[in-house]
Homo-oligomer: A and B are copies of this chain.
Amino acid sequence: MSELRFDPLKKIWCVIASERSRRPEDFLVKRIPESHGNLSVCPFCKGNESRSGQEIFSLKDTDGSWLTRVVPNRYPAFRIEGDLKRTAHGMYDCVTAIGAHEVVIETPKHHVNPGTYTDKILKSVFITFRERVNDLKKDMRFRYIMPFKNYGMLAGANIEHPHSQIIALPVTPDIVKTKLRSALEHFQMKERCIFCDMLTQEKEENSRIVYENQDFVAFCPFASSLPFETLIFPKRHSHCFSKTDDSQMSSLADMVREVFSRLYKCLENPPLNMVVHTSPPVVKRPSQPGYWQSIEQDFHWHIEITPRLSGIAGFESGTGFHINPVSPEDAAQFLKGAV
């Protein structure tokens, strides 16, 4: 079974999921072209439900047909079955890759892309995320639950039918810990939320805001690592995405549709990633090492949307930071104008 391994130098975990590969030759650089596939065999299309594995959840329309379906990832990096074991391997550390790895089929329709999503599709997707996160939170082994979307091959998608994923992890990723720690330190020092402070400054400056509606603001962050990186913050402070009510979900659908369609227009249907960052599940054993908790005041859930326009090169891999050739101010102006 696959393993999480900890790099004692970089202090980061990685997953060794060698069972996903057959032979090293499978990883030769070859880019399969975007095909408009044979829909009769697409396991995510309507009518082919039996091909997609045991259904975990589905959201139904008023007529009883499905809007979204959640099924297990066929090549899971994390599995729900088994024991959570933490072991030493000489000076290295291992944890069994216990967790969950689910696929959210976003719509029965095959030929939809982020630029043509409707509010109805997006609202269904986010409600599905919420329901699954709330369910996965009950499993005390999970320290972080993250819904995310890969669109386009360069952003890691290898299935054409519109889908996203939800992953539950037995460790809190270092990048998440850093964010939680930053937010906590800010709150401890100032008794204010760092995300709320960012929102205040963004609204005052008004040079990086892409779109704003009743409940959300989208902006290109001041320190954008990548061109056209866009953050979505709820205006009302909340640490927990999965507490978002249905009315806010309508607002979120409007927001994400606007951002997706602007990226689609400006960047000609770019590959992109979307990640929902919410506070880690509240654990009943706060004294246990490795668990991170956040309280209502010190974290603020948010969404990161990143078009993938270039790869990682030696500079980025060596320093951990990116050279971004487009300022967020330019990116925001460009996206703002794309209506």
Interface of A toward B, CB cutoff 8 Å = 5-18, 20-21, 24, 26-29, 77, 89-92, 144, 146, 148-150, 154-157, 165, 167, 169, 173-176, 178-179, 182-183, 186, 194, 197-198, 201, 204-205, 221-225, 227-228, 266-268, 270-271, 273-275, 277, 304, 306, 308-328, 330-331, 334
Contact status B319-A175, CB under 8 Å: yes
Q: Copy number of this protein in the oligomer? A: 2
Which B residues are in CB contact (< 8 Å) with A29?
154, 267-268, 270-271, 308-309
Among candidates B28, B156, B179, B310, residue contacting A10 with C-beta atoms closer than 8 Å: B179
A-B CB proximity, top 9 nearest: A156-B313, A175-B320, A148-B314, A275-B318, A173-B319, A5-B223, A18-B327, A273-B314, A7-B223
CA distance A268 to B30 in the complex (A): 11
Which B residues are in CB contact (< 8 Å) with A274?
314
CA distance A89 to B222 in the complex (A): 9
- The CB with the most chain B CB atoms within 10 A, among A5, A77, A308, A315, is that of A315
Contact status B156-A314, CB under 8 Å: yes
Which B residues are in CB contact (< 8 Å) with A77?
315, 323
Contact status B324-A224, CB under 8 Å: no
6 CB < 8 A contacts A-B: A9-B179, A12-B223, A24-B227, A149-B314, A175-B319, A275-B314
